[in-house]
Structures are given as C-alpha cells and as structure tokens.
Amino acid sequence: MPKLPIISGNAVIKKLEKHGYRVVRQKGSHVRLRHLNSFELKPITVPLHKTIKHGLLNQIIKDAKLTIEQFIEL
C-alpha cells in the first residue's frame, strides 16, 4: 500500500472533481462537494488548508469510495 501524499486542499478538490464530484458550496475555508451521478456517495467537506493531514485525507478517500492508488492516479 503506497503512502498518502502530502497535498493541499485545492489539490484534493481538483482530484475529486476528476472523479465526478462538484463544488456545491463554500463557507469560510471549507468547501462542500457532492457527486453528480450517485446519491449513495456521501457529500465531502474539504478544508482549504496548505496541507491536509493524513487521517483526514484517508477519510476523504474512504468517503469517495476510492483506494489510495486510485486517488494518487487521478
């Protein structure tokens, strides 16, 4: 299993948009994304920080029903 990358909030949003998520709203430094084609997937909140900690990034990947390998390839 590869290591999680050190990545910013904006980079996470760009990767999730490639997977089919779209920005629904933003409040302060947090952006809410929702998948366009599937209501089974949870809406995801991503903070716009310089770096996202590994625990939060791992949870975002799980909520999007992706593997770490799939997320890195996006």
pLDDT attached to residue 2 = 79
pLDDT digits (tens, 9 = 90+) for 37-63: 877 788 999 999 999 999 999 999 999
pLDDT attached to residue 59 = 93
Domain positions in the chain are 9-73
The tokens describing 44, both together, are 């995801």
Rounded average pLDDT over 21-48: 89
pLDDT range class, residue 1, cuts 50, 70, 90: low
45: left (phi over 0), alpha (psi -120 to 50) or beta: beta
> 9-73, superfamily in CATH?
Hypothetical protein. (3.30.920.30)
